[in-house]
């Protein structure tokens, strides 16, 4: 059993990581904004409160990481509609390095960061961890910068560094503006869902399974880049039709009404290299 410091513990992905860490028997110390404690999914061994974790320096983090074995850094700036090119991403880069420095000062043995599939050169329907890297948004560029910085820095430290690249997640706690909640909301209301042609290939994964895979990295100690993905290709049209079948209302899907954004890659499909240790549930749409 490990004592794990989890940032972003009340977020979309962090809540599921927390749940699965508890299921594996680990103690969780959650980093939260003051007043957000009621959004935690389960018991914690401790709470670290800060209005802005990215504004803290290494000394502050060293104190927060006292007696911690593993850090999982799930916090980042992700405001819908703004995060892809928001300057806040650069603050996250410097803040993450301060966290990593503080963790090492405190003797943390394993640092797990969360990256994105958008670090890769896209489009591609076969993204293994050795695929070319070429981010095209500030968000992805900053994530990749953190990966490069920490990979080189940890290579000269005693601790282990893991980087979990997340693909297309859906599920509990998802922002209502995202595709799956939008579809369910329109279908439940008996209203037309306006979609693109839906030809884009994606690697969809339930966020609960993603949380289980990331929590499992604490168990396996797997270092380096890790694709958190299903390894299966699904078109957006296929996804939409599966969801519509839950309601028996494919007639409400209007394909070709919305334009595919020029920056939207035709294919983003991963090759999963995560080492399994504990059984995790298979979850599909």
238 and 148 co-located in one domain:
no
Assign 284 a pLDDT band (cuts: 50, 70, 90).
Answer: very low
145 within a domain of the structure (yes/no): yes
16 and 103 co-located in one domain:
yes
Residue 81 confidence (pLDDT): 87
48 within a domain of the structure (yes/no): yes
159 and 247 co-located in one domain:
no
Q: Are strands 46-49 and 70-73 parallel, antiparallel or unpaired?
A: unpaired
Burial class (CB in 10 A: 0-12, 13-18, 19+), 259: exposed
34 and 114 co-located in one domain:
yes
Assign 159 a pLDDT band (cuts: 50, 70, 90).
Answer: very high
192 within a domain of the structure (yes/no): yes
Q: Which residue has the tokens 């504990």?
A: 278
Q: How many domains are contained in the chain?
A: 2
Residue 278 confidence (pLDDT): 55
Whole-angstrom distance, CA of residue 115 vs CA of residue 112 = 10
Average confidence score pLDDT of the chain: 95
108 within a domain of the structure (yes/no): yes
Residue 260 confidence (pLDDT): 84
Range of the domain at 46: 3-169+204-231
Assign 285 a pLDDT band (cuts: 50, 70, 90).
Answer: low
193 and 126 co-located in one domain:
no
197 and 212 co-located in one domain:
no
Q: Residues 26-49: pLDDT tens digits?
A: 999 999 999 999 999 999 999 999
H/E stretch holding 154: helix 138-154
248 torsion bin: left (phi>0), alpha (psi -120 to 50), beta (else)? left
Counting every residue written for the chain, the total comes to 285
Greater confidence, 142 or 177? 142
195 and 80 co-located in one domain:
no
> What is the average pLDDT across 227-256?
98
84 and 214 co-located in one domain:
yes
Model confidence at 61: pLDDT above 80: yes
88 and 225 co-located in one domain:
yes
227 and 239 co-located in one domain:
no
> What is the average pLDDT across 18-24?
98
Q: Residues 111-144: pLDDT tens digits?
A: 999 999 999 999 999 999 999 999 999 999 999 9
227 and 122 co-located in one domain:
yes
87 and 26 co-located in one domain:
yes
CATH code of the domain in which 77 resides: 3.40.50.720
| Sign of the dihedral defined by the CA atoms of residues 218, 11, 19, 177, in that order | negative
């Amino acid at each position: 059993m490990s004592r794990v410091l989890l940032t972003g513990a009340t977020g979309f992905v962090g809540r599921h990581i927390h749940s699965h860490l508890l299921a594996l028997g680990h103690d969780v110390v959650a980093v939260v904004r003051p007043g957000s404690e009621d959004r935690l999914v389960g018991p914690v061994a401790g709470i670290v409160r800060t209005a802005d974790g990215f504004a803290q320096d290494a000394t502050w983090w060293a104190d927060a990481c006292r007696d911690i074995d593993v850090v999982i850094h799930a916090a980042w700036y992700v405001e819908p509609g703004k995060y892809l090119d928001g300057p806040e991403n650069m603050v996250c880069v410097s803040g993450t390095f301060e966290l990593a420095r503080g963790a090492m000062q405190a003797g943390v043995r394993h640092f797990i960061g969360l990256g994105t599939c958008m670090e890769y050169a896209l489009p591609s329907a076969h993204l293994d961890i050795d695929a070319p890297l070429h981010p095209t948004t500030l968000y992805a560029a900053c994530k990749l910068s953190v990966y490069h910085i920490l990979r080189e820095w940890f290579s000269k430290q005693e601790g282990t560094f893991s980087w979990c690249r997340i693909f297309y997640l859906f599920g509990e706690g998802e922002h209502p503006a995202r595709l799956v909640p939008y579809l369910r909301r329109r279908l439940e209301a008996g209203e037309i869902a306006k979609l693109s042609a839906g030809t884009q290939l994606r690697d969809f994964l339930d966020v609960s399974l993603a949380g289980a895979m990331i929590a499992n990295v604490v168990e396996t100690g797997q270092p380096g880049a890790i694709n958190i993905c299903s390894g299966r290709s699904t078109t957006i049209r296929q996804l939409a039709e599966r969801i519509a079948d839950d309601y028996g209302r494919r007639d409400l899907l209007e394909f070709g009404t919305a334009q595919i954004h020029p920056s939207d890659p035709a294919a983003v499909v991963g090759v999963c290299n995560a080492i399994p240790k504990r059984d995790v549930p298979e979850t599909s749409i």
